[in-house]
């Protein structure tokens, strides 16, 4: 099922890029406290874990709707994390 594979790749790429953006911010702002940026990384990792668990669920009644909901959740969490990165001092 290529759809599941692509969804897993999307989750990996989106959240990986968010984590990379936080590292770039930390590298370019070495004089600032990193507690809030580390919290964003932790949240991205927790989101990754939660979404992968949902993707790997086997007993789903409507797989198409299930994967569509996971994709929507990825998009909303991704936007939320990006907003948090933009608000970093």
Domain boundaries of the chain, sorted by first residue: 2-86
Answer whether residue 60 shows pLDDT above 60: yes
pLDDT of residue 2: 56
Q: At which residue do the structure tokens 């992968």 appear?
A: 52
How many C-beta neighbours within 10 Å does residue 65 have?
10
Output the pLDDT for position 3.
Answer: 85
Determine the average pLDDT of the residues in 59-74: 94
Is-contact 17 79, C-beta < 8 A?
Answer: no
Grade residue 27 by pLDDT with cuts at 50, 70 and 90. Answer: very high
**Residue 35: φ, ψ to 5°:** -60, -45
Give the closest residue to 45 by CA, choosing from 83, 81, 69.
Answer: 81
């Amino acid at each position: 099922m290529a759809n599941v594979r692509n969804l897993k790749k999307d989750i990996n790429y989106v959240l990986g890029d968010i984590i990379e953006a936080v590292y770039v911010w930390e590298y370019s702002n070495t004089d600032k406290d990193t507690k809030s940026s580390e919290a964003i990384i932790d949240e991205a990792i927790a989101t990754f874990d939660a979404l992968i668990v949902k993707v790997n669920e086997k007993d789903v009644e409507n797989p198409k709707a299930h994967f569509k909901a996971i994709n929507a959740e990825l998009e909303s969490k991704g936007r939320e994390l990006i907003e948090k990165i933009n608000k970093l001092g």
